[in-house]
Structure 1
Amino acid sequence: MLSRVLLALACLFSLAAAARPASAGELPEPAGIEWSACPVRVPSGARCGFLIVPERRDAPDRTIKVGFARHMSTSMQRKPDPVVYTSGGPGSASLQLLGLLRQAFPDRDVIALEQRGSRWSEPSLGCPETAQLLLDELRARPSGAGSCLARLREEGVDPRGYTTAEIAADVPALRAALGYPQWNLFGVSYSTRSMLQAAALDPEGTRAVVLDSFLPEQVAWYDDAERNLLDTLTRLGLREQFDQAVRQADAHPIELPALDPVRGTSFTTRLTGDDLKAFLAEALHEAPVLAVAPVLVGALADGRTEVLRPLMDQIAPALVSHDWGLYHAVQCQDEVPFNAFPAEPRLFTVKVDRALCREWALPKGKPAKATTQAPVLVVGGELDPTTPPRTARPAAAALPNARFAEFPGVGHAVFLSGACGRRVIGAFVADPAAAAQPVGCAAPYERVGPEEVHLTAAPYRLLGTPWLGFPLALFALFSVLQLVAGGGRGWALTAFAGLSGLAFLGLSFQVLYAQFKTNEVVLGLGVPSVVARELTVLLAVSAGLSLLALTRRRGWPHLASATVATGFLLWWVLWML
Structure 2
Amino acid sequence: MRYRKQLLHRAACAGATLGLALSLAFAGKPAAAASAPSKSITSPCRIEGMPNELQCGSIQRPLNPAEPAGTQISIHFLVVPAMARNKQPDPVLMLAGGPGQSAIAVAPMMMSRLARLNNRRDIVFIDQRGTGKSAPLQCADERELPFEQALDASAQLKRLETCRQDLAKLPHGDLRFYSTTIAMQDFEAVRVALGAAQWNLIGASYGTRAGLEYLRLFPVQVRRTVLDGVAPPDMVLPASFSTDGQAALDASLRACEKEPACAQQFPQLRQQWAGLLHSMPRQLSVKHPLTGQDERFTLSRDMLLRSVRLPLYAPALTSALPAAIHAAGEGRFESLMGLSGALASSKSSRLAMGMHFSVVCAEDVPRLDKAGDPPGADFGRGDAQLYTQVCKDWPRAQIAAEFFSMPPAPSPVLLLSGGADPATPPRHGERAAKALAGANPKLVQHIVVPEAGHGVMGVGCMRELLFRFIDAKTDALALPQDAACASKIPRPGAFLPVQASKVQQP
How far 1:136 sits from its partner (Å)?
2.5
SS at match of 1:48: strand
Q: Is the 8 A contact 1:189 1:213 kept in 2?
A: yes
Match of 1:180, SS? coil
Measure the CA separation in 1 of the matches of 2:138 and 2:44.
Answer: 21
**Paired AA for residue 332 in structure 1:** C
| 1:435 has 2:469 as partner | no
1:128 paired to 2:140: yes
User: In structure 1, which of residues 397, 422, 426 is the aligned counterpart of residue 434 of structure 2?
Assistant: 397
Q: Judge conservation of contact 2:33–2:195 (CA < 8 Å) in 1.
A: no
Q: What's the counterpart of residue 103 of structure 1?
A: 115
> Partners in 1 of 2:383 and 2:270 — Cα distance?
19
Q: 1:52: which partner in 2? A: 60
- Whether the 8 Å CA contact 1:378–1:404 is kept in 2: the answer is yes
- Helix, strand or coil: the match of 1:136? helix
Q: How far did residue 134 of structure 1 move?
A: 9.4
1:21 pairs with 35, 39, 42, which one? 35
Are the structure 2 counterparts of residues 423 and 287 from structure 1 closer, same or farther at C-alpha, using a change threshold of 3 Å?
A: farther
Task: Assess, with a 3 A threshold, how the Cα gap between structure 1 residues 391 and 141 changes in structure 2: closer, same or farther.
Answer: closer
Cα distance between partner residues in 1 of 2:156 and 2:221 = 48
* Aligned partners of 2:315 and 2:491 also within 8 Å: no
Q: CA deviation at 1:166?
A: 1.2
Summarize the Cα distance change of 1:152–1:260 in structure 2 as closer, same or farther, 3 Å threshold: farther
CA change 1:78–1:128 in 2 (3 A) is: same
Moved more, 272-281 or 298-307: 298-307
Give the C-alpha shift of residue 180 in structure 1. 0.6
Contact 1:260 1:316 survives alignment (8 Å): no
Question: Which residue of the other structure, out of 184, 191, 195, is the alignment partner of 1:179?
Answer: 195
Q: Which residue of 2 aligns with 1:330?
A: 359
Instruction: Report if aligned partners of 1:380, 1:406 keep a CA contact under 8 Å in 2.
Output: yes
- 1:438-478 Cα offsets, whole Å, 9 max, x none, are 2223665653246xx23xxxxxxxxxxxxxxxxxxxxxxxx
- Is 2:250 the partner of 1:205? no
- Structure-1 separation of matches of 2:344 and 2:469: 37
Match of 1:257 among 271, 279, 286: 286
Match of residue 410 from structure 1: 452
What corresponds to 2:128 in structure 1? 115
1:379 corresponds in structure 2 to 416
Quote the Cα distance in structure 2 between the aligned partners of 1:270 and 1:243: 22
More helix by share: 1
Please name the residue that 1:489 is paired with: none
Q: 1:236 to 1:374 in 2, by over 3 A?
A: same
Is this contact kept in 2: 1:36–1:50, CA < 8 A?
Answer: no
Q: 1:291 to 1:183 in 2, by over 3 A?
A: same
Residue 77 and residue 435 in structure 1: after superposition, are their counterparts in 2 closer, same or farther (change >3 A)?
A: farther
Aligned ranges 1:532-571 → 2 under 5 Å: 532-533=500-501
Say whether residues 1:158 and 2:174 are aligned partners.
yes
Change (3 A) 1:85 1:224: same
1:182-193 pair list within 5 angstroms: 182-193=198-209
Q: Distance in 1 between matches of 2:243 and 2:250?
A: 10
Please give the per-residue CA displacement for 1:82-117, whole angstroms capped at 9, x wherever unaligned: 110011101112223253254141321111122111
Deviates more, 1:78-87 or 1:435-444: 435-444
Whether the aligned pair in 2 keeps the contact of 1:334 and 1:366 (CA below 8 Å) is: no
Which residue identity does 1:166 align to in structure 2?
I
**Contact 1:34/1:52 (<8 A) preserved:** no
1:448 paired with 2:493, answer yes
Q: Per-residue displacement from partner, 1:402-438 (whole Å, max 9, x unpaired)?
A: 210001321101124x242222222211225321242
> How many angstroms apart in 1 are the aligned matches of 2:163 and 2:297?
24
Cα deviation for residue 168 of structure 1 reads 1.7
Describe the superposition over 1:128-163 as per-residue Cα deviations: whole angstroms up to 9, x where unpaired: 188879962625863754232222222122111101
Partner residue in 2 for 1:142: 155
Residue 91 of structure 1 aligns to which amino acid in structure 2? Answer: G
Q: Which one scores higher on RCO, CA 8 angstroms, separation ≥ 6?
A: 2
Q: Kindly indicate whether residue 366 of structure 2 is the aligned counterpart of residue 356 of structure 1.
A: no
Distance in 2 separating the partners of 1:130 and 1:296: 23
For residues 243 and 146 of structure 2, the distance between their equivalents in structure 1, rounded to whole angstroms, comes to 25
Q: Does the C-alpha gap of structure 1 residues 116 and 242 become closer, same or farther in structure 2, counting only changes over 3 Å?
A: farther
CA contact (8 A) 2:449 2:486 kept: yes
Which residue of structure 2 lines up, in the alignment, with residue 462 of structure 1? Answer: none
1:88 maps to 97
1:426 to 2:467 alignment: yes
Higher Rg of the two aligned structures: 1
Any gaps of 5 or more consecutive residues in structure 2? 1-30, 256-267, 438-442
Deviations along 1:339-361, whole A, 9 cap, x unmatched?
Answer: 12898974755543222111214
The share of aligned pairs that are identical, in percent, is 25
Report the CA distance shift for 1:438/1:390 in structure 2 as closer, same or farther (over 3 A).
Answer: same
Q: Distance in 1 between matches of 2:362 and 2:325?
A: 36
Alignment of 1:265-280 (within 5 A): 267-280=295-308
What is the one-letter code of the residue matched to 1:58? A
TM-score (norm: length of structure 2): 0.76
Contact kept? 1:281, 1:386, Cα under 8 Å: no
Q: CA deviation at 1:165?
A: 0.6
CA change 1:85–1:290 in 2 (3 A) is: same
Number of aligned residue pairs? 436
Question: Are the counterparts in 2 of residues 133 and 144 from structure 1 also a CA contact under 8 Å?
Answer: no
Task: Tell me by how many angstroms 1:197 deviates.
Answer: 1.0
Distance of 2:294 and 2:72 partners within structure 1? 41
- CA displacement at 1:231 relative to structure 2: 1.2
Structure 1 residues 281-319: Cα deviation after superposition (integer angstroms, max 9, x where no partner): 221111311334444444445554332132244367569
